[in-house]
Structure 1
Amino acid sequence: MTTLTFELPDGTEVAVDVQHLLNAGYAGREQDEVQAHIQELAELGVPGPSVTPALYPVSPYLAQQVDEVSVQHGKTSGEAEWALVISDAGTLLTVACDHTDRELEVHGVAWSKNASPDVLGRRAWRLDDVRGHLDDITLKAWVGAGEVPDTLIQDSSLAALLTPDYWLDILAERGLDKPGTVLISGTVAMLHGVDQFSRSWKVEMSDPVTGETLSLGYGVRQMAEPIG
C-alpha cells in the first residue's frame, strides 16, 4: 500500500493510505473543445472514449511523491493536473503530474495511464479553504532537456477543468467518497511547438488570493534496453 504525506499551510501533516486512484480524462468544461481534441488524437491513432468526461481506474501504488520517474523509452510525457485527496482530516487539493506512455496510448488510454506514476506534490490545501476561488488558481508546467525545467509547456487555470465538486459527486455515486481515494483531474492544453518528450518536468499551482504555490518537479530516466 502506498502512503502519501502532505503538509498543510498551518504546518499540519496528513498521511493518506491510497486505496483507490482514478485519472479523469477529457475533463475540460468546454466539451466542444474536448470533442475537437478527441478528433485531433484520433488522427494520431489514439482511440477516443465512449463517453466524456472519462474516468480511468489506476493501480493505487502509482500514486507517488518522487523526484525521478523511470520509463521504458523516449516517448513519455507528463500532464499538469490537480489532485483531489480524500483523507481522515478532510478533502485536500494538491498539484499533480500524470506521466503517460504516449506509444502505449494509441493502444488504449487506460493502459497508458497504468504504465507510469501519477506524481503528487508534498504540500496541499484543504479544499474548503480554496473552493470559493478555484477558478482563479493557475496551473502551469515547464519542461527541460536537462535537469532544469525551463520551457513553459502548459499555462492555464482551474477554470478550464471540471471542478473538484463535480468529481466528488461522481465518487459519491460510486461509493468512493471516502478516505484513501485520490482523483487526478485531467489536464489542460499544451503549448504548440514545445517538445513534451523531455528530461525534466515541473508543475505549479498558484493561488493569487492567498499568495501560496504548490509545486512538484522530477527528472525522467530511461531504463536500460531489455534483453530478449
Structure 2
Amino acid sequence: MNPLTFELPDGSRRTVEVRRLLNAGYAGRAQDQVAAHVEELAALGVPAPAEVPALYPVAGYLAQQTGAVPAQHARTSGEAEWALVVDADGELLLTAACDHTDRALEAHGVAWSKNAAPDVLARRAWRLADVADRLDSLTLRAWVTPEGGGAEQLVQDGTAAELLPPAHWVDVLRGRGELEPGTVLLSGTIPMRPGVDQFAGRWRVELGDPATGDTCALAYDVARLSEPIG
C-alpha cells in the first residue's frame, strides 16, 4: 500500500493508503475536445481507442507525491488532471494531479504506458462536497520548462467543465464495486496548447478555485536516467 497525505483548507490532514489507482482517458464532455486529444496522441503514434471514455487500472504504488519523476528517454510527458480520492472514512477528496506518461510506449499500448511512470498528486486537497456547487468553474492549468532550463510555458489551460464530472466517475466506481477507501481516480486531461513542446524537463500543474482563490498544485522535475549497460 502506498500512503498519501493531504492537507485540507481547514488545516486538517488526511492520510490515504492507496489500494486502487485508475486513470480515465478520452474523458472530455465535448466530443470535439475528445477528438482533439485523439489527434494529439495519433501524432505521437497512438491508435484511437475502441471505446470512450476509457478507464485504465494502474499499479497503486505509482500514485506519488514527489518532486522528481525518473524517465528512461526524452519522449515522456505529463497531463494536467484532477484526482478523486476516497479517504479512510469513505469521504471524497479532490486534488490536482499529473499523469506522467511514456509516449514511446503508448504507441504499443496505452495501459502499458500508464504503468511506466508515476501519477503525481498535489499535497493539498478539498472535500469534494465543499466545491460541488462550482465544479465547472475550477481551473486546470499546466506549465512546462524545457529540459536544460529556459522560460516556463503554459501548455494546458482550461476548466473542469471540459471533463466528465466526478459524479460520473463516482457512479462508475460504485457500479464496479470500487468506490472504497484507498481508491484514487485521475480524470483524464484537456487538450495541449499548439506549438508548446510537452517533452519538457519540468511540469507544474494547478487546480484552482476562482471563488476562493485557493489552489491545489504540484510540480516536479523529469529526471533522465543514465544510459543502460547491455
Q: CA deviation at 1:156?
A: 0.3
Q: Matched residues, percent identical? A: 61
Please report the RMSD computed on the Cα atoms of aligned residues, expressed in angstroms: 1.4
1:64 equivalenced with 2:64 (yes/no):
yes
How far apart, in 1, do the equivalents of 2:151 and 2:61 lie? 26
TM-score by length of 2: 0.95
Which deviates more, 173-182 or 81-90?
A: 81-90
Contact 2:44/2:103 (CA < 8 Å) preserved in 1?
no
Counterpart residue type for residue 94 of structure 2: L
For the Cα contact (< 8 Å) 1:149–1:202, is it kept in 2?
A: no
Q: Which amino acid aligns with 1:79?
A: E
Alignment of 1:65-144 (within 5 A): 65-89=65-89, 90-144=91-145
Q: Is the 8 A contact 2:33 2:190 kept in 1?
A: no
Q: Distance in 2 between matches of 1:54 and 1:132?
A: 26
- C-alpha displacement of 1:169: 0.2
Instruction: Name which of 175, 178, 183 aligns with 1:173.
Output: 175
Q: Distance in 1 between matches of 2:79 and 2:151?
A: 14
What TM-score, normalized to structure 1?
A: 0.96
In structure 1, the partner of 2:160 is: 158
Moved more, 24-33 or 59-68: 24-33
Divergent runs of 4+, >4 A: 146-149
Instruction: Find the counterpart in structure 1 of residue 42 from structure 2.
Output: 42
Unaligned 5+ residue runs, structure 1? none
Instruction: Return the offset for 1:148.
Output: 7.5
Alpha-carbon distance between aligned partners in 2 of 1:120 and 1:147, rounded to the nearest angstrom: 23
Distance 2:201 2:32 in 1: 33
1:46 maps to a residue whose letter is V
1:74 aligns to what SS in structure 2? coil
Post-superposition offset of 1:150: 1.6
Q: CA deviation at 1:50?
A: 1.6
Matching residue of 1:53: 53
| Counterpart code for 2:169 | W
Q: Equivalent residue of 1:133, what SS?
A: helix
Which 5+ residue runs of structure 2 have no aligned equivalent? none
Deviation at 1:41, TM superposition (A): 3.3
Question: Offset of 1:147 from its aligned partner?
Answer: 5.9
Tell me which amino acid in the other structure corresponds to 2:229. Answer: I
Equivalent position of 1:184 in the other structure: 186
| 2-structure distance, mates of 1:117, 1:91 | 22
- For residue 31 of structure 1, report the CA deviation from its aligned partner: 2.2
Q: Residue by residue, what CA displacement relative to the aligned partner does 1:122-146 show, whole Å, maximum 9, x if unpaired?
A: 0000000001101111000000025
Structure 1 stretch 38-47 or stretch 81-90: which is displaced more? 38-47
- Corresponding residue pairs, total: 228
Equivalent position of 1:5 in the other structure: 5
- Cα distance in 1 for partners of 2:55, 2:68 equals 26
Q: Distance in 1 between matches of 2:87 and 2:117?
A: 24
